[in-house]
Structure formats: structure tokens, C-alpha cells
Amino acid sequence: MSNQRTATQTPRTFPNILSVDVEDYFQVEAFSALVSRNSWDTFPCRVVDNTRRVLDLFDECNVRGTFFLLGWVADKYPSLVREIVVRGHEAGCHSYWHRMVDQITPREFRADTERAKACIEDAAGIRVEGFRAPTFSITRKTQWAPEILIELGFSYDSSIFPIRHDRYGVPDAPRTPFVMRTPAGYITEFPLTTFRLGRFVNLPVGGGGYLRLFPFIYTRLGVKSALRQNVPITIYFHPWELDSEQPRIDTKIPTRIRHYSNLSRMGSRVQRLLSQADFVPYRDFRACGNLPEIDSARLLG
């Protein structure tokens, strides 16, 4: 792969990407201090039915996407992983225990990710090529992570968010897909979608809480702005975000507002967003040979 590619090449049109982070309602980072991982088996499972609801929604919209699965979910419900693949979607990795990368050591990250990848591949019967970190936690605190992903056999990652946030983000990262160069080789990075406000401020759009909590006019205008700026739209959300009947966990008011607001509206918002453009899974993105290269140490160092 040439080291001479630059971001000044002629802009190209990117496909838009559809993705789902498959975890249950009690496994989210916001509840990690309240719900120990040793107790996950004691909570009523809703991830299977909720993921099937997502699969049905995608069938209705005639779209295919990438499902980034927790290894824990693949371990417990391998038939769900097989169903995702049989119904035409891509299986990706979302870690095993849903621990933020910046809260564990490189050795723990390697072991967790390797275990998750193996569980998903065993269940799916195919190779897993893509990774998404819990809470987008590949940041400047975890500059060692891309190299480990390459050594574990991943060809792409979608964990970098080019925004300022209290828990994640690389605000000056490229807003369009690029290739990271590391001592272990190369990995393609698909940043989460932003649109530019003014000259320096990137605002998030197109997924998760940003889609569920903000008025839909914000999403619609942000998507239009991103497309005008030649930034691909990456939709991402969680199956639990379509589940207004999920058991409530007693937590602080701000967390309750963020987690439980607009659950009953999320399905229709996803449908509306899917109607704004065409979407594909990551595996169908066929432009890696034309992407600019960035040294990982320069980006995350």
C-alpha cells in the first residue's frame, strides 16, 4: 500500500453505512457501576427479541447492515448470530465484556477482543473482520489499540468519533474513512458521522442517543449537511433502544433521562433516517484502495 496518498486527491462519493451494536439493556456503560458483569445472567434477556425486531425492520426497509455483537451475547445465544448472518447481514465484534478500552490494559484488551472474536466466528461460521469499541473508546488514551486489532486479524475499525465529548472522541480526526498505518500493518478506519458547524466544530449525527434524544429536525438537517460535505452517514443504534417495555434500572435522574427517553419513537426514527439515503454494511464498502493514509502515532499520539 503506497504511502503517497493524500487527502488532497479528488473527493469521491462514499456509500452510507448501517450498523447495530448488539448488547442488552443492562450491559450499557451508563449502568456499569450498578450492574456487575457477574450478575448479567440474573437479568431477563431481551436482546434476542429486540435484535429480531431490528432484523424485521431492516427487512421491511430492504436494507442490510453490520451487527457488532458482544462476545457474551454470541456465547449465550449463538443461534441469534447465525440468524443475523443467514438473513444477509454482517457480523462484527463489539468486545466480550463491554469494557471501555481506556479502562483496561493492552493485555486485557487483547484477551477480551480475541475471546469475543472467537465466540462470534464460532457462532457465525465466518470470519469477523470489523470491530467497534464500547462507547467509541479508541482515543488518544488507547493509541495502542489499532495495532492489537491488526494482530488479531481485523481489517477495519469503526470506533473513532471526531467530536469533543467527556468520555470519548478524537476531535481532529478525519471525518471520512481513512487507513491507519501502524507498526503491525494497516487497518481501515470508519469514523462516526459528524457535520461541520462553522470552521472548527464537529457535531454528531445519525445514531444512538443523538438520533433518539434530539428532535428529528436536527438529524435531518445534520444528515443533509454531512452529505453536502461528502461525509458518509453511519447509522448506529442498539436493539434496546427500540424496547420501551424493558425493565427499569434504578439510577440517577440524568442517566434515566438519557437511557429511557423516546424509546417508543426510535423505530419510526430509524425508518425515517433510512429513507434519507441508501445504506450498506461495512463489508460492502469497496473503496479502501483509494483512501488517504494516516500514521496512527500521529493521529492518536
Q: Return d(Cα 227, Cα 230) in angstroms, integer.
A: 5
Q: Three-class SS of residue 163?
A: coil
The upper half-sphere exposure of residue 66, i.e. CA atoms within 13 Å in the direction of its Cβ, equals 27
Given a cut of 80, is residue 28 above it in pLDDT?
A: yes
Structure confidence at residue 128 (pLDDT): 98
The band of 251, judged by pLDDT with boundaries at 50, 70 and 90, is very high
- Cβ atoms 293, 181 nearer than 8 A: yes
Separation CA 71–CA 22 (nearest Å):
10
> Minimal CA–CA distance to 65: which of 8, 104, 124, 16?
16
- What's residue 166's pLDDT? 77
- The pLDDT of residue 290 is 80
pTM comes to: 0.93
Strands (E), the chain: 16-22, 66-69, 90-93, 130-131, 156-157, 178-182, 185-189, 194-197, 201-204, 234-237, 279-280, 293-295
Query: What is the spatial distance between Cα 155 and Cα 90, in angstroms, rounded to a whole number?
Result: 14
**Residue pLDDT, tens place only, 199-233:** 778 999 988 899 999 999 999 999 999 999 999 99
Quote the CA–CA distance of 138 and 217 in Å, as a whole number. Answer: 30
CB 194 within 8 A of CB 223: no
Rounded to an integer, the average pLDDT of 70-79 is 98
Instruction: Return the beta strands (E) in 216-276 as ranges.
Output: 234-237
What per-residue confidence (pLDDT) applies to 12? 56
Q: What local confidence, expressed as pLDDT, does residue 287 receive?
A: 55
What integer best gives the mean pLDDT of the chain? 92
Radius of gyration, alpha carbons of the chain? 18
- 82, 87, 89, 93: CA torsion to nearest 10: -20
Domains of the chain: 16-300 (3.20.20.370)
Mean pLDDT value across residues 129-138: 97
User: Could you tell me the end-to-end alpha-carbon distance of the chain, in angstroms, rounded to an integer?
Assistant: 22
pLDDT at 11 over 90: no
289 confidence band (pLDDT: 50, 70, 90): low
pLDDT one-digit tens code per residue, 175-196: 999 999 999 999 999 999 999 9
Answer whether 211's CB lies under 8 Å from 180's CB: no
Q: What are phi and psi of 90, to 5 degrees?
A: -95, 140
Query: Beta strand 66-69 with 90-93: parallel, antiparallel or unpaired?
Result: parallel
